[in-house]
Structure 1
Amino acid sequence: MIQPVVVIGAGPFGLSTAAHLRARGIPVRVFGDPMVSWRDHMPAGMFLKSTPVASNFDCPQPGHGLVDYCDAAGIRRLVTDEDIIPVETFIAYGEWFQQKLVPDLERVRVVSVDRRAGGGFELKLDSGELFTARAVVVATGLSGLAHLPAGLASAAPDGPSPAGPVSHSSQHHDLTRFSGRELIVVGAGQSALETAALAAEAGARVRVVSRGRGRVAFGAPPWQQPKLRPESPFGRAWSLWALTYYPHPYRHLPARTRHYLVRRVLGPLGAWWLRDRFEGKVEVEEVDRVVGADATDGNPVLTVRTHTGHTTRLPVDHVIAATGYRVDIAAMDFLGHELRTRLAVSRGTPRLGAGFVSSIPGLYFTGLPAASSYGPVMRFVCGTEFASPRLAKHLAAAHG
């Protein structure tokens, strides 16, 4: 019996990879809940920052883009840079893509992945099934990677929690629970600014606390983008164009440079369409740094150092850390101990070679865990255009 290839994860990168593998005739089993991170860990009423052209799942067959879903669903086409995408529409697009191209998706959880003595991998599902696979693709997205800075961790010793004094932005689907309450959102990126705006619209009194001067900013609308620079899904700039369409040499850069670019390129910046919903509705406090946090009687107090060198305490009803995600192989506990200890990593992220293969033959990573090897484009849905066909081609050649 031919051992299958396993794809773990059913978000944009997992579904796109599975579609490419199936198109090559490779037996594949795909595990996960389709679009679960988008459905359960993004706030209701959210809009995507990415444009429609940057929001397609790459697919070897034509007719499976966002505009095709809009046509099939009988809704208004989303095609121009001025069209913004409701998260509910994007989730429905992903589920439609899955039903069309990965209909045999298995909605069970992979409990463990271990190397097999004779080659390949042994997997266990939460259903109790044990089986072997010739290759494994990890496409688990943001799952388990929410980052809580050390300055906030002291107020959440058991981790961030919506019921506790400090939570992470990924833990809130319904922000109406904060109506009438005083809320601090820590961060300056799209997640922080949109979470703050949505909470304010739900009736909360919201303050954004961001590090650095001038960190809360919004991008230029499409009609104000510079015309004499090449176009990319993220805007007009030579750097964005190169990182989007030519990520090949990125993994050969020095590690320090690679990690710096992942953090800084397309860093904290609100979407152009969010400015009017944010300014005048949300208070902003730009500080030198967050010193720490503590909780008295369940209510958090944030301690910050101002730009004048003073230390200020900010009492509040709840703190939301919109502080992003950090890839850490140690957090991927479904990977067996031997796999995690033998993987070559750089600052906790897997070091990937050609075709997105890790240092362990047959074990591949795509999406966010691939960003430190292939660049910031791997943080976004449009990264599937580069990653999925190349991963499938490499896997087919190595394990065909």
Structure 2
Amino acid sequence: MRVFGEPMVSWDAHMPAGMLLKSTPVASSIDAPQRGHTLVDYCDAAGLPRLITDEDIIPVETFVGYGRWFQEKLVPGLERVRVVSVDQRQAGGFEVKLDSGEQFAARAVVVATGLSGLARLPRELGAAAPDGPSPAGPVSHSAQHHDLTRYAGQELIVVGAGQSALETAVLAAEAGARVRVVARGRRSVAFGGPPWEQPKLRPESPFGRAWSLYAFSYYAQAYRHLPAGTRHYLTRRVLGPLGAWWLRERFEGKVEAREVRRIATAGTREGRPVLTVETLGGRSRELTADHVIAATGYRVDLAALSFLGHGLRARLAVSRGTPKLGPGYASSVPGLYFTGMLAGSSYGPVMRFVCGTEFASPRLARHLAAAYRS
């Protein structure tokens, strides 16, 4: 077996410095085949404060360190090169090419690329960035920012209502920017309650106390049997936009929140972005700033996975741009597997989170072992 990629690159390079994870410690450990590799184990090994309770908050730097420690312990043979293409071979299996120039045959391929290439920029905002989103241009995506101090003293609009939008806005404001959050819908900017306010008579899950969250966390196997429309709806809406309970105090009174019906158009005037929004009252209003950050999340779209050959992608059974997966995370192309966020529409919203590895990893490994035992 060979494993390729750069460990924790999305978290290290595409998340803002000073970020704190919304997920709790119990939801942030990577599944391992043996004991001794949880987030708490890493904290002990690194001499850091133990992160155990739901009230403990995880700095992104600690999480990046944990992921790299996990890799060094359990996947020491990781090859830090990029896969540039995967194509089917007529004789069976796949032809894999690396950016190092190496080319080889593989019987099976597991795609676990996380958020890479899946940043979503709404079409109306894209009109203000015809050359693509960029921190140096009028519009960027939140995944393009590591250092928000570049906007100190500037007017900034952050579009979105989830944790990414609200925390990006707070960090930019704390760095000296004048920040407005523009979110779609009435009461769209909201924060969760602290853990001690969670209802006690509901089952626990890594995401909180609720029967639905418990089912999504521990019975994901049944999710793929739901009707396609239901699956896509739940994947999009469950655990939807909501700020962390600990972020509210840093947000209120420091960041302006503007809730609108929709962003109608976006453009530029003298190099500055201009948004035309429809207010909740139905009126049209212009909003201007020095820069707009679209904290509008990620969307699975196989077309964005350019390393998968066009012929291979054409043979995949898909549903709304996402791979349709069977038992063991197997796609419709024999030998090709998808996991992580790429498996969300088949196995549910738990696949968007690190704790989803507890469900996915052993099932995928068993399927691979059974299919390629010899």
The TM-score, its normalising length taken from structure 1, stands at 0.93
Secondary structure of 1:340's counterpart equals: helix
Alpha-carbon deviation of 1:61?
A: 1.0
The answer as to 2:67 corresponding to 1:81 is: no
- Find the aligned partners of 2:117 and 2:269 in 1 and give their Cα distance: 28
- Find the aligned partners of 1:199 and 1:317 in 2 and give their Cα distance: 13
Alpha-carbon deviation of 1:158?
A: 1.8
Could you tell me which residue of structure 2 aligns to residue 68 of structure 1? 41
Could you tell me which residue of structure 1 aligns to residue 176 of structure 2? 203
- Find the aligned partners of 1:78 and 1:308 in 2 and give their Cα distance: 45
Match of 1:291 among 264, 268, 288: 264
Could you tell me which residue of structure 2 aligns to residue 329 of structure 1? 302
Task: Give the % identical residues.
Answer: 77
Could you tell me which residue of structure 1 aligns to residue 253 of structure 2? 280
Alpha-carbon deviation of 1:297?
A: 2.1
Secondary structure of 2:350's counterpart equals: helix
Alpha-carbon deviation of 1:183?
A: 0.2
Match of 1:309 among 277, 282, 302: 282
Could you tell me which residue of structure 2 aligns to residue 115 of structure 1? 88
Secondary structure of 2:165's counterpart equals: helix
The answer as to 2:68 corresponding to 1:95 is: yes
Alpha-carbon deviation of 1:150?
A: 1.1
The answer as to 2:342 corresponding to 1:369 is: yes
List per-residue Cα deviations over 1:4-23 (Å, max 9, x = no partner): xxxxxxxxxxxxxxxxxxxx
Gapped runs of 5+ residues in structure 2? none
Alpha-carbon deviation of 1:119?
A: 1.1
Could you tell me which residue of structure 1 aligns to residue 158 of structure 2? 185
Gapped runs of 5+ residues in structure 1? 1-27
Could you tell me which residue of structure 2 aligns to residue 164 of structure 1? 137
Match of 1:300 among 273, 290, 307: 273
List per-residue Cα deviations over 1:107-154 (Å, max 9, x = no partner): 001010011111111101111001011100000000000000111011
Could you tell me which residue of structure 1 aligns to residue 102 of structure 2? 129
- Find the aligned partners of 1:38 and 1:121 in 2 and give their Cα distance: 30
- Find the aligned partners of 1:160 and 1:378 in 2 and give their Cα distance: 27
Could you tell me which residue of structure 1 aligns to residue 5 of structure 2? 32
- Find the aligned partners of 1:110 and 1:74 in 2 and give their Cα distance: 35
| 1:226 maps to amino acid | P
Alpha-carbon deviation of 1:296?
A: 1.6
- Find the aligned partners of 1:181 and 1:195 in 2 and give their Cα distance: 15
| 2:227 maps to amino acid | P
| 1:313 maps to amino acid | E
- Find the aligned partners of 2:139 and 2:218 in 1 and give their Cα distance: 39
Of 237-246 and 296-305, deviating more is: 296-305
Match of 1:387 among 348, 360, 366: 360
| Aligned CA-pair RMSD | 0.6
| 1:286 maps to amino acid | E
- Find the aligned partners of 1:160 and 1:257 in 2 and give their Cα distance: 32
The answer as to 2:243 corresponding to 1:270 is: yes
- Find the aligned partners of 2:266 and 2:141 in 1 and give their Cα distance: 14
The answer as to 2:200 corresponding to 1:227 is: yes
- Find the aligned partners of 2:111 and 2:270 in 1 and give their Cα distance: 42
List per-residue Cα deviations over 1:244-281 (Å, max 9, x = no partner): 00011111111111010011100000000000010110
- Find the aligned partners of 1:112 and 1:260 in 2 and give their Cα distance: 32
List per-residue Cα deviations over 1:358-398 (Å, max 9, x = no partner): 00010000000100000000000000000011000011111
The TM-score, its normalising length taken from structure 2, stands at 0.99
- Find the aligned partners of 1:308 and 1:139 in 2 and give their Cα distance: 44
Alpha-carbon deviation of 1:170?
A: 0.2
Could you tell me which residue of structure 2 aligns to residue 105 of structure 1? 78
| 1:343 maps to amino acid | L
List per-residue Cα deviations over 1:214-238 (Å, max 9, x = no partner): 0100001000000000000100000
Could you tell me which residue of structure 2 aligns to residue 51 of structure 1? 24
- Find the aligned partners of 1:115 and 1:297 in 2 and give their Cα distance: 49
- Find the aligned partners of 1:30 and 1:158 in 2 and give their Cα distance: 34
List per-residue Cα deviations over 1:25-78 (Å, max 9, x = no partner): xxx111011100000000000000000000000000110000000010011100
- Find the aligned partners of 1:244 and 1:289 in 2 and give their Cα distance: 33
Match of 1:355 among 328, 340, 345: 328
